[in-house]
Structures are given as structure tokens and as C-alpha cells.
Chains A and B, each alone.
Chain A
Amino acid sequence: MHNLHAYAFGLFRKVYYKVGMNERSKSFKDYVKDAIERHIAGLDNFDPSKSPLEYHLKFNVIRQAIYNDRTPYEKKKAEERKKPLEESNITPLPTRRPSEPSFKPSTSEMTGRHDENLLFNEIEKAINGDDIMERIYLAVFKVGFEFSDRAEICKEYGLTASEFDNGKRRLMTASKSVVERLKIE
């Protein structure tokens, strides 16, 4: 259950650029409850031979619902945010309305700016000097491997499986800190 909530929270924040309610008055918790309800009622087309239940609920039910529930306005805002800062005519938004709960009282809401270059620049700074993390980062984000291409990456970049697993975990830990930092004004 924690996994589903964490997934829904992270994805909701990415898609809607806030952690309160979306335009359909739903929060990330509602998407988890709906997914479980649909599964219990047998409305989610779950096929255990195709994927494990957690994977299915995350990717086939929660993910789909969060994306599908975007209103045209929210889709337009998302497109605007993807433009580089200099091209866009929107300013950072105080996206939380007074009535919305603050999940993290010590921080403010996201700026609403989803600058990809900034994200990857910060990640590169964070992993600078760690050879294994840098190799994995290069393989996946510069050369074009997938994280699942573990054997190929290990072979190409001279890593053992254990170095890869450990390195990937450290890379994601560093990336997670960057994501959290960039969402603070």
C-alpha cells in the first residue's frame, strides 16, 4: 500500500505540479482508492499472467487515471511549463490555494517550472566525481540505454552487476534529492 501511495503522490505531483486537488477535486489518495476499488470489483482487466498486481495497479490503473483526468486547461498548463523559461510568458505560480492542505509546512509549493535542463544539470553536479554513477548516467541519459539494459551497460562500461545495482540506487538517491530541492522556491 505504501508503494502505491508513494507512486501516486510522485506522479500526481509531476502531472499536476501540485500536491492538493486537481481540477476534478481528486487528490493522489483518491487515485489509489479508486484503483483498489476497481480491482476488487474486477473492473481493471487484471491478468496475473501478464504482470504482477502492484505493477498493474501502478501503470495500468493509477497512471492512466491520473493522466486521463487532466482537463484541457491542465494539459495546456503542462505544455506551457515544458517550454524553456525564456520562451514562456508565465511566471512562477503560487499554485496552492489557501484551502489546500500543506503537506510539508516548511516548504512552499512547486514553482510550476519544469525545467529539464536544470534538472539534469543539477543531477550531473550531484554525481560529479563518482565514477560508477557517472558511467550509468552517461549510458542511460546520454548514450540511450535503458535502466533495464543492465547486462549491456555492465559489459560496455566495465561494471559488475553489483556495482551497477549499487550505483543505480545511489544515482536515484542523488536524483531524488535534486527533485525535492528543485520543487522548493
Chain B
Amino acid sequence: MNKDKSDKLEKFYDEYLNFISSDEQSKAFLIEQGLNPDALADEAIRKAKLVQMQLASRKTEKQYLDLQASLMQKVKDEVEKLLSDVSFDLENFMKQENINLAFRNFEKLSKKEVKELLERHYLLKFENELKEKTNP
């Protein structure tokens, strides 16, 4: 294939495509081809809006998950701090925080159960604080 010939054809087609897709020519060109330019545009815009909505929804979901993750970390840090304090007393803490348990045998709770209880408490507490901040 002669390179010069091929360059000439490519040069022609580049300019031809520029011409038919210019502001002055594009609508008429599409109509000449039996197409409906406005219908094509509407279809493409509808698709674009759908993509925008999907992206926004994914972004919101990601923001929510990031927020949850950061909240959980805050909870774990708080509970860790509490449990590492040698003077920590669960009964006093529960009175302080107004935590009512259905049973009173919290002395028999394992370390793991205490930790879970405290994490649940702080999670609820921080979520409520966040709600109050965003919806005063």
C-alpha cells in the first residue's frame, strides 16, 4: 500500500469528518442520512443523566461507608482507652452513662462481652451526636 496515497486519503477524511461534524453542517448531514438529530441528542442526554445519577448514588454510598468506618474506628479507640484504664469500673460507668441492662449479672460478663457492650453504647452515642450536628 503506497504510503503517500494512504496519507492523502487520511488527510481528505480528516477534513471531511471535520466538515460534516461542524456546527454549520452536522444537523443537516444527519438529516441527509435519514437520522433524527434531536432524537439522537435526547437519547444521549438521557443516558448521560442516568450515568450522573448512578455516579452520585455511588459517591453517596461511598461517603456513607467511609463515615461508618471512621465512626467505628472512633468507637474502638474510645473503648480501648476505657478498658486500658486500670480504674475503670463497669458498674459505675453504666450508672454514669445511664445504661440499663435487662439483667444485673454484668460481673459475669466476659471481657469480649464487655467490649461489645461498650462498643454498642459508644456507636449509638456517636451516631446520635452526629445526627444532632447535621439536623439541629
Give the number of chain A interface residues (Cβ < 8 Å): 41
Q: Is the CB of A176 within 8 A of B45?
A: no
Q: Chain B's interface: helix, strand, loop or mixed, by majority?
A: helix
Q: Is the CB of A33 within 8 A of B44?
A: yes
* B14 nearest CB neighbor, chain A only: A147
Q: Is the CB of A33 within 8 A of B47?
A: yes
Q: Chain A's interface: helix, strand, loop or mixed, by majority?
A: helix
Q: Is the CB of B51 within 8 A of A37?
A: yes
Confirm or deny: A179 has a beta carbon within 8 angstroms of a beta carbon on chain B: yes
Binds A, one of B21-29, B75-83, B88-96: B21-29
Confirm or deny: B1 has a beta carbon within 8 angstroms of a beta carbon on chain A: yes
Binds A, one of B32-40, B102-110, B124-132: B32-40
Q: With the chains together, A183 CA to B119 CA distance in Å?
A: 73
Q: A19 — which chain B residues lie within 8 A by C-beta? A: 33
Q: With the chains together, A173 CA to B16 CA distance in Å?
A: 9
Bin chain B's interface residue count. 35 or more
Q: Is the CB of B33 within 8 A of A37?
A: no
Q: With the chains together, A117 CA to B119 CA distance in Å?
A: 80
Binds B, one of A9-17, A90-98, A155-163: A9-17
Q: Is the CB of B27 within 8 A of A2?
A: yes
Q: A4 — which chain B residues lie within 8 A by C-beta? A: 21, 44
Q: Is the CB of B37 within 8 A of A176?
A: no
Q: A179 — which chain B residues lie within 8 A by C-beta? A: 16
Q: A150 — which chain B residues lie within 8 A by C-beta? A: none
Interface contacts (Cβ under 8 Å), in number, total 111
Q: Is the CB of B48 within 8 A of A36?
A: yes
Confirm or deny: B30 has a beta carbon within 8 angstroms of a beta carbon on chain A: yes
Q: A103 — which chain B residues lie within 8 A by C-beta? A: 33-35
Q: With the chains together, A37 CA to B54 CA distance in Å?
A: 11
- For this complex, 11 residue pairs linking A to B, each with C-beta atoms less than 8 Å apart, are A6-B21, A7-B17, A10-B16, A19-B33, A29-B44, A33-B44, A40-B48, A79-B1, A104-B34, A141-B8, A147-B11
Q: What residues make up the interface of A, taking CB atoms closer than 8 Å to B? A: 1-7, 9-11, 14, 19, 29, 32-33, 36-37, 40-41, 58, 79, 82-83, 102-105, 116, 119-120, 140-141, 146-147, 169, 172-173, 175-176, 179-180
Q: What residues make up the interface of B, taking CB atoms closer than 8 Å to A? A: 1, 5-6, 8-9, 11-13, 15-17, 19-23, 25-27, 29-30, 32-35, 37, 40-41, 43-45, 47-48, 51-52, 55
Closest 5 CB pairs of A and B: A7-B21, A6-B26, A1-B41, A172-B19, A2-B26
Additional 19 contacts, C-beta under 8 A, given A10-B20, A33-B44, A172-B16: A2-B41, A3-B21, A4-B21, A5-B37, A6-B27, A7-B17, A29-B44, A33-B43, A40-B51, A41-B51, A82-B6, A120-B8, A120-B12, A141-B11, A146-B11, A147-B11, A172-B19, A175-B19, A176-B19
